[in-house]
Amino acid sequence: MRHFLTLKEYSKEEILEILNLGLEIKAEVKAKTFVPRLVNQTLAMIFEKSSTRTRVSFEVGMYQLGGHALFLSNRDIHLGRGEPLKDTARVISSMCDMVMIRTYEHSKLEEFASYSKVPVINGLSDSYHPVQLLADYMTMMECGKDINPIVAYIGDGNNMAHSWLMLASKLGFELRVATPKGYECDPIVIADAMRFAEESGAKITITNDPKVAAKGATVVTTDTWISMGQEEEKTQRLLAFQGYIVDDALMGLAAENAIFLHCLPAYRDVEVSESVLEGAQSLIFEEAENRLHAQKGLMVWLDKHR
């Protein structure tokens, strides 16, 4: 049985297998020849943080696959009142076929998984957001941007930056991460990525200069400067990130036909200008829709590997 907590535990072949399965299922849905693959299965979805895309895509995805999803906010279940995670894990995994968790500390996901009898999926932790990267790469595959891409991630060294580091270093493509001083990625994650890059041939550049990252990039991406749980740091973060907005000037440094991605929610004219977000190079809504298709591929893949 496999869990899906980070891309660290996955090989290039496995990541591509999940994505190709997702694309196959997407084509079936569009052709209305869809075959439900997880009939009568249940997915428990535990949310300790807000969500629009993750909740809707997993719930709709499980329904379309022939199963059922349960939305469990920590305000409703006893986890939020102090019932131990290890008890919650054993109870829920004795009744459900799969579990998705959105939480704060990544260690909580690991603890839950260690007590779970069924596959556990990371629906975002403070450290990683791997299901988002499945959708992002699927979007790149669909428009041919998976061929020798140069990805520029500009912004906070957060869960999204960490997940890009894992994806690039596993798949072997070029990634430049530009963050302000003091907001760099976790050195342990960078070290892991560098180690994987040696095997895969990925080229990883870590810089504090957004222009260095953007120059000639074929994919430009960013994320909010204030992640969930960091609301109190808003004032100091807005100051520290000055000059990191992805606007027309920065996009102008990228390759002519570069695409723009953002996991959303986006804050207009903060980390990205309205013009880039709504512009012709932006594929943000294709990317958001792909959450549904990529995660269906993931759930079917996890079911096959138990």
Binding residues for ligand CP, per CB under 6 A?
51-54, 124, 132, 263-264
Q: Which of ligand CP, ligand NVA, none sits in contact with 52, Cβ below 5 to 8 A by type?
A: ligand CP
Number of residues that bind ligand NVA (CB under 6 A): 10
Work out the number of other CB atoms within 10 angstroms of the CB of residue 114. Answer: 12
Closer residue to ligand NVA, CB minimum distance, 129 or 170: 129
Q: Kindly state whether residue 127 participates in binding ligand NVA, applying the rule CB under 6 A.
A: no
- To ligand CP, the closest distance from the beta carbon of 215 in angstroms equals 27
Does the active-site annotation cover 291?
yes
Q: 249 φ, ψ to 5°? A: -65, -45
Assess 152 for contact with ligand NVA (CB under 6 A).
Answer: no
Among 159, 169, 179, 290, binds ligand NVA (CB under 6 A): 159
Q: How wide is the angle at C-alpha 42 spanned by C-alphas 41 and 45, nearest 5°?
A: 150
Q: Which of 263, 283, 288, 299 binds ligand NVA (CB under 6 A)?
A: 263
Q: Nearer to ligand CP by C-beta: 130 or 157?
A: 130
Type of residue at 145:
K
CA distance 80 to 73: 8
| Of 37, 106, 129, 293, catalytic | 129
Residue 293 known to be catalytic: no
Contact flag: residue 227 with ligand NVA (CB under 6 A) = yes
Which residues, at least 6 apart from 134, have a Cβ–Cβ distance to it below 8 Å? 15, 18, 19, 22, 290, 294, 295, 297, 298
Non-local (6+) Cβ contacts of 181 within 8 A are 208, 240
Residue with tokens 């629009």: 52
- Is 132 a residue of the active site? yes
From the candidates 3, 102, 162, 262, give the one annotated as an active-site residue. Answer: 102
Q: What binding mask, one character per residue, do residues 204-223 give for ligand NVA by CB under 6 A, x or -?
A: -------------------x
Pairing of strands 204-207, 219-222: unpaired
Q: Catalytic residue at 268?
A: no
Strand partners, 100: 45, 121
Catalytic positions, please? 102, 129, 132, 223, 263, 291
